[in-house]
Structure 1
């Protein structure tokens, strides 16, 4: 029963992490520290800058925004690609978790591998934003912490990444619990990782 509860917790946390990555990808990574026009903030997303964080139209694209900051532009391009990849990785981990809950305990190892990939894809995204926030590249590319605060999208990415790490520990602990269960009750342990009465 304890093993099943850990899988349920894994699936719930993985869904939340997937949802946060999905929602966080188009949201602001940075929000202007002061309101500029009509009580609206200038917001910088992975895809560009816009007036008003919940506005759907961009003032400039990311490439236009960082035209004089090639390293920053390249960081944002990499972050864009890895954020989209992370959506698929976190979504796949959730679907595999549901399958793990329903039937196939061997998928635990696949879930573990997918979660580890997710940790690496998403860490690149938020670390790229931290570097942009604190690093000044030249006079045209000052560090953004002079004018901006972190935005909602950045916070969602960070929380999703932490949930992914928690899920990795849940999968590893579950594996150790299965080994202990098999050693203590070999007559009740089945190959599928679940107990059944004979």
Structure 2
């Protein structure tokens, strides 16, 4: 008995049949062909699954313009703001260093970083050292403030020069300007903190704040310079990392 099946879309012969149907005639099946057909019918190829089908890759639309990100602050505008702030900081520190830090509420006398003036309007101090400040502890505080005020003059001047060089659009100058500006924040802070300590902490058996004393204009300028320098550091940071 011959069993006929057909090719693709048509039936194939049963593997046990010695013949298969060709498009024109019956043909005897060889042992090799019989084995191939047996494998086909007993182990048919798996049907494709949704996971086995390769997904269609749709190319991205490159016709759209790329997303453009802008810095929070234009470097040129930031440089101009930094120069203005740094100039004010340097000017305030320069003016504040020699003038009154602590002064009398009623009398004309005042204390500077370097000693006591019987008249604050005079250019020279009348008394220096321990004789001026009453004891070594208070003297050391005021002398420490003087040292850091002088250091602040150099650091703020260097920061100002570097800020001016930013107008030349030299990228390597920004980190150095930020470095000196950040250093000035700490030196100015220590300078006015020494004065605040001498005024509020008990030294020489008493506190200056217990007497008719107040902070002088030099102290106010130092604190203002410190605040402006912090703002300048923020501007330089935006230029560097923004």
* TM-score band w.r.t. shorter chain: 0.7 to 0.9
| Root-mean-square deviation over aligned CA pairs | 1.5
Q: CA deviation at 1:138?
A: 3.7
4+ residue runs of structure 1 moved beyond 2 angstroms? none
Which consecutive unaligned segments of at least 5 residues does structure 2 have?
1-72
TM-score normalized with structure 1 length: 0.80
Q: Map of 1:45-194 to 2, 5 A cutoff? A: 45-66=112-133, 68-139=134-205, 142-145=206-209, 146-177=211-242
Query: Does the 8 A contact of 2:98 with 2:113 survive in 1?
Result: yes
Q: Give the total of aligned pairs.
A: 169
Task: Tell me by how many angstroms 1:175 deviates.
Answer: 2.2
TM-score between both structures, scaled by the size of structure 2 = 0.66
2:85 is matched with: 13
Compute the displacement of 1:124 (Å). Answer: 0.8
Rg larger in structure? 2
- The answer (yes or no) to whether the contact 1:49–1:62 under 8 Å persists in 2 is no
Shift of 1:2: 2.6
Structure 1: distance between partners of 2:216 and 2:197: 15
Tell me the distance in 2 between the aligned counterparts of 1:76 and 1:157.
14
Give 1:17 deviation, angstroms: 0.3
Which one has the bigger helix percentage?
1
Matched residue of 1:76: which SS? helix
- What's the secondary structure of 1:149's corresponding residue? strand
